[in-house]
Amino acid sequence: MPVTIDDARAIAGTLPRSYEALVSDRVKFRVGNIVYAAFSQDDTIMGFAFPREEREALVASEPDKFLMPSPSDMRYRWVQVRLDAIDVDELRELLIDAWRMCVPKKVSDAYDQAHFSGPTGSESTV
């Protein structure tokens, strides 16, 4: 079952310093002034922060799932995903990794300590 913007809201709402903004009829998630995830107007595509030097490999590895950013967004650390191609667990991973790119390391470290345990980084069930 494809994920929805409400699934993203539930995840982003748990991330410190994260907030939702509506810009030109598009939902965006931010940390300060930095956008780490944004949805297309029809809520079928999510753009998210991603290392620029790794995006071509990501898109090439799963072209039915991932898309390069629009030409105007190529200068940013950004890539896109089709929401009907991922599940909630993958959405969570993409959002948290994108959020990590925007917050200070001490904030992401504190989040990790509160939510993840063990050497593999598996999510805590506590």
Name the packing angle between helices 5-12 and 88-100 (round to 10°).
50
CATH of 5-105, one of 3.20.20.140, 2.60.120.380, 3.90.1150.30, 3.30.565.10: 3.90.1150.30
Amino acid at 106: K
Residue among 26, 7, 2, 8 at smallest CA distance from 98: 8
The pLDDT score that the predictor gives to residue 120 is: 46
The pLDDT score that the predictor gives to residue 121 is: 47
The pLDDT score that the predictor gives to residue 2 is: 79
Contacts of 51 (CB under 8 A, 6+ apart): 77, 101
- Domain boundaries of the chain, sorted by first residue: 5-105
Helix (H) or strand (E) holding 55: helix 55-61
Phi-psi region of 123 (alpha: psi -120 to 50; beta: other; left: phi over 0): beta
pLDDT tens for the chain, 126 residues long, are 679 999 999 999 999 999 999 998 899 999 999 999 999 999 999 999 999 999 999 999 999 999 999 999 999 999 999 999 999 999 999 999 999 999 999 999 999 888 876 444 444 433
Please list the helix, strand and coil fractions of the chain in percent, rounded to the nearest 5, in that order. Answer: 40, 25, 35
